[in-house]
Amino acid sequence: MKFFTAVSVIILLIIFTANNYSQEFDFFEPKTTVSGYGELHYNNEKVEGKKRTQVLDFHRFVLFFGHAWSEKWSLKSEVELEHNFVKNGQGEIELEQAYVNYHHADWLGFQAGVILPSAGLINEYHEPPLFFGVERPDYHNKIIPTTWFGNGIAFYGNYNGFDYKFVIMEGLNADKFSASSGIRGGRQKGFMANVENPLYNFRLDYLGFPGLKVGASYSYNNAIGDSTTNEIGLAEFHLKYEANNFYGVFELGNISYKSGEIKSSRGYYFDLGYNLSSHIAWETKVIPFFRYSDINTAASTRSGGDSEKAYHIKQWMVGLSVKPLPAVVFKADFGEIKRELGDVKTSLFNLGVGYMF
| Domain boundaries, given as residue ranges, for the chain | 38-356
What mean pLDDT comes out for the span 284-308? 97
The C-alpha atoms of residue 139 and residue 269 are separated, in whole angstroms, by: 7
pTM exceeds cut of 0.85: yes
The C-alpha atoms of residue 92 and residue 157 are separated, in whole angstroms, by: 33
Mean pLDDT is lowest, of 43-57, 79-93, 213-227, 233-247, for 79-93
CA atoms within 13 Å, Cβ hemisphere of 190? 20
Backbone dihedral angles phi then psi of residue 23, each to the nearest 5 degrees: -70, -40
Q: Could you give the 3-state DSSP secondary structure of residue 341?
A: helix
What mean pLDDT comes out for the span 211-216? 98
What's the confidence (pLDDT) of residue 278?
Answer: 84
Q: Which CATH superfamily is domain 38-356 in?
A: Porin (2.40.160.10)
The C-alpha atoms of residue 163 and residue 321 are separated, in whole angstroms, by: 29
**CA–CA–CA angle 88, 34, 147 (5° rounding):** 50
Distant-in-sequence, close-in-space partners of 211: CB < 8 Å, separation ≥ 6: 241, 242, 243, 244
The C-alpha atoms of residue 115 and residue 76 are separated, in whole angstroms, by: 10
Distant-in-sequence, close-in-space partners of 244: CB < 8 Å, separation ≥ 6: 211
What's the confidence (pLDDT) of residue 345?
Answer: 97
Distant-in-sequence, close-in-space partners of 314: CB < 8 Å, separation ≥ 6: 292, 293, 294, 337, 338, 340
What's the confidence (pLDDT) of residue 27?
Answer: 75
What distance separates the 2 farthest-apart alpha carbons in the chain? 69
Residue 26, pLDDT above cutoff 70: no
Cα distance from N-terminal residue to C-terminal residue, the chain: 41
- Residue-wise pLDDT for 122-159, tens only, equals 999 999 999 999 999 999 999 999 999 999 999 999 99
What's the confidence (pLDDT) of residue 280?
Answer: 87
Mean pLDDT is lowest, of 14-18, 117-121, 280-284, for 14-18
